[in-house]
Structures are given as C-alpha cells and as structure tokens.
Amino acid sequence: MKEFFSKLLNGMSIGIVVSLVPNALLGELMKVLIPHFPAFQHVLDITVFVMSLLPVLIGVMVGISFQLTPIQTASIGIAAMVGSGAVVKTAEGLFTLNGIGTVINTGFTAAIAVLFVKFIGNRLKAYSILLIPTLSILIPGMVGYTILPYVQRTTNLLGVAIDHVTTLQPVIMGAIIAIIFCLLILSPFSTVGVATVIMLSGVGSGAANLGIVAAGVGLAIASYKANSLGTALAHVLGSPKIQMKNFIMKPKIAIPMIITAAFLGALAGLLNIQGTPYSAGFGLSGLVGPLNYINLADGGWSFGNITIMIGSFFLLPFIFNIALIYVFSRKLKMIKSEDYKLEFD
C-alpha cells in the first residue's frame, strides 16, 4: 500500500509541475509584453490551455510511474480527465475549460484507474486497444465523475473554515492563513481553488501568498543537495507541490517552512500585505504574489513598497528558512537532505 501511494503521488507531482511551469515562467512576462507585442497573446493563451491539461498529464505520469503499457497509460490519462472537472458543459451545449479541475479528485480517479487496468491485465488480449480506453471511461472515469460534486463540496467546506479565520485580528489571522496555505500547497488540494471559492482577498490573500512562498523557498533550500539545481528552483518557479509525496510520507520535513510561514503571515497582517482571490494561491510562481502586492499597495512602486516586497517575499523567507533548516537538520537531527529527494528519472 505504501509503494502504491508513493508511485501515485510521484506521478501526480510530476504531472502538476510539467503542466504549471510554462505559465509560471511566462505568464506575467507575457502580460507585460502583450501591449507592445500583441502576438504574444497566443503564447499566454497556450500556457493557460496547457494548465488545463493537468489532469491528463497526471494520469499519464501516474501510468508511467506504475510502468504500465502505453494503452493502459493513455487510458488512465483519459479517466483522470473525466473525473477532474476540468471540462464543463455550458447551458448552450458547449464544452469549456474549467481551470485545472479538482486535483484531489483527479488523483483519486487515477488511482481507481490504475487498480482497474491492473485487474484487467492481459485478459482482453488483442481487444485491449478497443476496450481498455472505453472501459476506463465507463468505470473508473465515471466513478470519479460521480463523486466529483462531493469532493468539490469538501473543498468548499475547507474554504468556509478558512473564511472564518479572516475574522480574527490581522496578525493572528495572517499567521494562521499562511500556515494553512503552506500545508495546502503540499497537499492534493488546490490553493487557487480554495482561495477563489471564498474570494480570499486583502491581507488574507497576501498571507496566503507568503505561506506558499515560505514552502517554496524553504523546500528549494532544503532539497538542492539531494536534487539538481533546476529541480530545486522548480519549487519556487513552479510549485512546491512537487514535494507532495515526500511531505505525505514524512510530514516533519515541512516543519521549518511552517514556522517560517507563521512569521511571514504575521508580517502580512502587520504591514498590510495584500492580494486578490486570483493571486492568493500562487506565491512566487510567475511573481504573481509580489506583483499583486505592489499593484494594490498605496503608492504603487514607491521605495517603501519595493523594500517591503523584496524583504517579505525574498529576503526574509530565505533567512528564516536557512536558520530553521540548520536548526532542525544539524542541531535537532529531525530532517536530512535525503528526505527531500525527488525521483523524476
């Protein structure tokens, strides 16, 4: 069972990063360039479209993690897409993209699909190419599609709980929300989905961003010895969610990042660091968090606001994480660099 979940989470992590990184790297840059070079709008549109392919990529990468046949792997990708909710049918009968769907349900559907194709095995012989894709839609795909509304309701309930936190005193609220989003970004839940459900804005959104920044920067620092530099940077430029498997298997690896998130979240409440419902789940990815803070702050690109942005989004996350990782690895011996090893080969 442990090996099954390890392979499932590893496949999900790779699929998430591959689909989200292009927009993370190019999204904000394209938005700056489009007014001067309108042709770049096509590049931005494509990166957004690629994000909606996340369920298919999760399914395919899960299939590869389990070393399934090409037909089985492609079928899991199809089933994952069916159960993700990333495509919806409008009242006019048109099919439209609905963001990245519900990640946790995508993973659950992919898990059912893996069990299904393993159960089928080679029983269908020459008819595999005809029947496995169809049966994957009819059985695991439709199971995921059926439970999707209930999983979405669970996400909504989580959002409501977070919404209650926003009624607290700003510094306390900021610390709690930052911790919550630091944990959410390492879970199968979508931080963007939770934030938009409750329309998290203002200091709550700023704190959420800083919680994700704490996770991304901390995991990049902690993992660079066990992985390549490019993989370490993917925690910041892409998503810390690539450590999902390691976090679920060993939750203690996130302790330095959680403490850092609490400090940064409190700082958001103290310095009135704000964001929007659509920026709350991104952190440093595409520089969405810091740029939204500057755009919303009184005075815009003033020296004071730039100083706060650099300090809160870049310097302090680095300093706090470096210090805490040193304490928990060298002094307390609770974590080690191998705990952050990612198996992407």
Q: Are 111 and 8 in contact (CB under 8 A)?
A: yes
Q: How many domains does the chain have?
A: 2
Please say which residue of 121, 152, 183 terminates a domain: 152
Kindly state whether residues 174 and 273 are assigned to the same domain. yes
Query: Which pLDDT belongs to residue 344?
Result: 65
Query: Which pLDDT belongs to residue 345?
Result: 56
Residue 159 domain-assigned?
Answer: no
Kindly state whether residues 205 and 341 are assigned to the same domain. yes
pLDDT tens per residue across all 345 residues of the chain: 888 998 998 899 888 888 888 887 788 788 889 999 999 999 999 998 998 999 999 999 999 999 999 999 999 999 999 999 888 888 888 888 888 888 899 999 999 999 999 999 888 888 888 899 999 999 999 999 999 999 888 878 888 888 888 888 999 999 999 999 999 999 888 888 788 778 888 899 999 999 999 999 999 999 999 998 888 988 988 789 889 989 999 999 999 999 999 999 999 999 999 988 877 888 888 788 898 899 889 998 999 999 999 999 999 999 999 999 999 999 999 999 999 998 765
Please say which residue of 152, 185, 218 terminates a domain: 152
Q: Which residue matches tokens 């709350």?
A: 280
Residue 234 domain-assigned?
Answer: yes
Residue 137 domain-assigned?
Answer: yes
Q: Are 55 and 42 in contact (CB under 8 A)?
A: no
Kindly state whether residues 134 and 201 are assigned to the same domain. no
Residue 49 domain-assigned?
Answer: yes
The enclosing H or E element of 325 equals helix 316-326
| Integer CA distances (angstroms), 227 to 220, 224, 241, in order | 9, 5, 15
Tell me phi and psi for residue 226, to 5 degrees. -90, -15
Query: Rounded CA gap, 222 and 216, in Å?
Result: 10
Task: Give the length of the chain.
Answer: 345
Residue 19 domain-assigned?
Answer: yes
Kindly state whether residues 94 and 147 are assigned to the same domain. yes
Please say which residue of 94, 128, 152 terminates a domain: 152
Q: Which residue matches tokens 């309930």?
A: 157
Kindly state whether residues 138 and 246 are assigned to the same domain. no
Query: Rounded CA gap, 259 and 53, in Å?
Result: 34
Residue 158 domain-assigned?
Answer: no
Kindly state whether residues 269 and 322 are assigned to the same domain. yes
Kindly state whether residues 46 and 178 are assigned to the same domain. no
| Integer CA distances (angstroms), 145 to 72, 84, 149, in order | 19, 7, 8
- By residue range, what is the domain housing residue 138? 1-152
In 3D, which of 18, 22, 11 has the Cα closest to residue 48?
A: 22
Task: Look up the pTM and report it.
Answer: 0.84
Kindly state whether residues 262 and 326 are assigned to the same domain. yes
67: left (phi over 0), alpha (psi -120 to 50) or beta: left
Query: Rounded CA gap, 45 and 48, in Å?
Result: 5
Residue 161 domain-assigned?
Answer: no
Q: Which residues contact 226 (CB under 8 A, 6 or more apart)?
A: 337, 338, 339, 340, 341, 342
Kindly state whether residues 170 and 70 are assigned to the same domain. no
Residue 160 domain-assigned?
Answer: no
Secondary structure (3-state) at 281: coil
Secondary structure (3-state) at 345: coil
Kindly state whether residues 205 and 121 are assigned to the same domain. no
Kindly state whether residues 116 and 252 are assigned to the same domain. no
Kindly state whether residues 4 and 126 are assigned to the same domain. yes
